[in-house]
Structure 1
Amino acid sequence: MGWEDELFALFDDLEDRASALYAAERDLEVADRSRAEYQQVTLAGRLMASVGRSVTLGVPGVGAVSGVVERVADGWLLVAAGDHDWVVVLGAVATVDGASDRSVPEVAWSPLTRLGLASALRRIADAGEPCLLHLRDGSRHDGVLRRVGADFCELVAGEGRRTVLVAFSALAAAQSRA
């Protein structure tokens, strides 16, 4: 092998080493960017990607809520669980098992998903069907939602037809009784 071949072999070797160093550095940069981007992912975004999937939610004061995610919106989600539907306050969800590995960023959500918890509860009130309100402290109130305010709802409960006001901040979930 002549000196030119040796020189070209040296250049090839140096080029291979430079490519390997670049690839290793690029892999580290991609991993770092992935970590940085993932910090923008929200629980709501992961649940939005899970619409149509069966999940089990851990909700303190309620326990496990298992069913199919039907809808995710601003601060709440709808879970169909056999004969009952659950409106679960997103802030009350402690764990999710079975969620999609993907996420849907909020900018890609439908305008209908901007409807808040009050809208979901008004729909229950308009239906006039019995429901069970689960509070974050573990207590429950059975009755019919009558009216929904800005940050609370009115439940007509019991045979005495007493009115119970429930603050949204105390609410974990509303379960259909029909």
Structure 2
Amino acid sequence: MQRRKSIKNMALLAGGLVALPHWAKAWSLESLPPMALPPLPMLEGNTLALIIEAIIPESETKGAKSLGVPAFINTMLADCYEKKVVDNVEKSLARVEGIAQAKFQQGFAALPLAQKQALLLELEKGEDKDLKDFYSLIKNLTIQGYTTSEYVQTTFLKYEMVPGHYYGCVPVKS
């Protein structure tokens, strides 16, 4: 065994343990880099929120829009998907606006919920691969964001953070 190398490693370890508390207190939320802006411009982001609202609308329970699913999808697009996919989402959101103008002579935002849902159903069953991919992605992310929200997990799925509670003092029959 090399005694000098061992002593050096122990000294480095001791120095690291002394410096660790200072390092752990040195960062804060303000010192972290700012989060990137959402990948979608405001108009497209609004259209995205309306599409999400049409997929899971408000009823006696909260809808996807009120649970923050648009922010979830923006974060997922920014952090988890390639630029090609995000570009397709942007183009498809603009095309949805164009389809609504052509078919109903008004923007997607002005349409009643039934017409929005009918337009989205046409996208899902249509022949255009880019629009089908776009709608499939948005629908899947909406369902994922909605079902993993705290509201749905605790209200409907009875999610327990630590399942299998341990009851320590239980009388035992002899």
More contact order relative to length (CA 8 Å, sep ≥ 6): 2
Interval containing the TM-score (normalised by the shorter chain): 0.3 to 0.5
TM-score by length of 1: 0.32
Higher helix share: 2
TM-score by length of 2: 0.32
